[in-house]
Amino acid sequence: MNRNPRVLLLWARLSAYLRAELKALEARGVDILLVHEAEAAGAPFEAETVRGGLRAHTWHGRPDLEETRALVAEFQPDVALICSWDNGVYRRLGRELQGKALRILTMDNQWLGTLKQRAGVAASRFVVRPAYDAALVAGERQATFATKLGFPLERIVWGLYTADHDRYAEVARQRGDRLPPAAFVFVGRLVPEKAVDVLAEAYRRYRASVVDPWPLLVAGIGPEAPRLEPLEGVKMLGFVQPPDLPAVLGEAGCLVIPSRYEPWAVVIHEATSAGLPVVCSHACGSSTRLVLDGHNGVVTTTGDVDAFAAGLRRVHCWSDERRRAAGEASSRLALQYSPDRWAENLLDRIPDLREQVGLEAAPWAGEA
């Protein structure tokens, strides 16, 4: 008898983009159980705006093995999306689901060749591979890591992250032929890994080098806020809830993101969907797919203040025609991703992946 597919998510913290992806699965008749970590102080999302009525279980500090095991046993998933491999409880449950569900490791860490990553590769045979059948990765840098962990290309699914494309594209549609406002915008936690120090000093140097500097809108909170608060031209917006973020992007003409460490940066997809050019560091994983230097933005050396200041100046000095062209290029590049494409791609790959790992065809319509 046919029934709806059952997808279990053993997740970390929530995000707005996750809700958009899960809504797309729900629209296709998928039953979902979401197990996730409580919200972080630095990103205080209103949980219900993200969970939105989903069947969900929240844990604090560390998930309880017996409690989570009971939830999983009752749900009987066909597919388990498991966030990373550093959570021992999740890894244990992945092992226990062998032969019962398709176990997909979700990966956003780029392959950097660090000592820790090399140790993970060495231990993958014993730690990673017994708990997972396939990998769902953000992009090519993550796919490289997945292959080193031993996943064959046929068991790697691309496109882990996507913004709620249609909602952000509405910003560009409403703007029409008008130029976006002459303002930069930063969206993110104000923490060292986001290179707030680089942003502050680069913006100060940029302002000193032009006669009509753009303001900088800052949407976020965190311990690095004092680096930006006293600067002339900076407007601190605080933490912006996901439903309000499109309006903030509508007040800007360019996203800036100088991060030292940024596995993907969904905000780049949000901004490009809204038709904004982007100035970002090379560390941003999505820069390889969504920011083409000189076409719809600028990609700079990570941690280089002068380079980032020069990137701000480049965008500032573009003609109106060039700004329009860059915005249109961003909108085209953003079409690579959407929640609907994410859901369709995942559901399309499941039958073949199940067959590859020796699982019976799941009892839902459309699977051979």
pLDDT, average across residues 286-314: 97
Using alpha carbons, select from 230, 223, 233 the residue that is nearest to residue 312.
Answer: 233
pLDDT, average across residues 127-148: 96
Which carries the bigger pLDDT value, residue 123 or residue 43? 123
What does the pLDDT read at residue 40? Answer: 62
Using alpha carbons, select from 308, 257, 324, 309 the residue that is nearest to residue 287.
Answer: 257
pLDDT, average across residues 215-237: 98
Identify residue 83 by its one-letter amino acid code: C
Do the strands 134-137 and 278-281 form a parallel or antiparallel pair, or are they unpaired?
A: unpaired
Identify residue 272 by its one-letter amino acid code: T
What token pair was written down for 5?
């597919």
Domains of the chain as residue ranges with CATH = 6-162+338-356 (3.40.50.2000), 165-334 (3.40.50.2000)
The string of DSSP codes covering 170-221 is HHHHHHTTSPPPS-EEEES--SGGGTHHHHHHHHHHHHHH-SSPPPEEEE--
Model confidence at 133, pLDDT cuts 50, 70, 90, reads very high
Give the distance from CA 127 to its chain's centroid: 25
* Contact between 32 and 26 (Cβ < 8 Å): yes
* Contact between 40 and 13 (Cβ < 8 Å): yes
Radius of gyration of the chain (CA): 21
Using alpha carbons, select from 66, 271, 81, 56 the residue that is nearest to residue 183.
Answer: 271
pLDDT tens digits, 150-170: 999 999 999 999 999 999 999
Residue 28 scores a pLDDT above 60 = yes
What token pair was written down for 99?
């032969």
Give the distance from CA 282 to its chain's centroid: 16
The reported pTM is 0.93
Q: CA dihedral defined by 290, 291, 296, 302, rounded to 10 degrees?
A: 160
What token pair was written down for 144?
């490289």
Residue 19 scores a pLDDT above 90 = no
Three-state secondary-structure class, residue 279: strand
Continuous segment of H or E residues that includes residue 6 = strand 6-10
pLDDT tens digits, 97-124: 999 999 999 999 999 999 999 999 999 9
pLDDT over 90, % of the chain: 88
* Contact between 277 and 254 (Cβ < 8 Å): yes
pLDDT, average across residues 189-199: 97
**Could you tell me how many helices (H) and strands (E) the chain has, helices first?**
14, 13
| First vs last C-alpha separation in the chain | 13
Query: Among 36-40, 149-153, 157-161, 228-232, whose mean pLDDT is lowest?
Result: 36-40
Residue 272 scores a pLDDT above 70 = yes
Residue 31 scores a pLDDT above 60 = yes
Do the strands 102-107 and 134-137 form a parallel or antiparallel pair, or are they unpaired?
A: parallel
Average pLDDT, the chain: 93
Model confidence at 365, pLDDT cuts 50, 70, 90, reads very low
How far is the C-alpha of 91 from the C-alpha of 82, rounded, in Å?
8
What does the pLDDT read at residue 368? Answer: 39
pLDDT, average across residues 144-151: 97
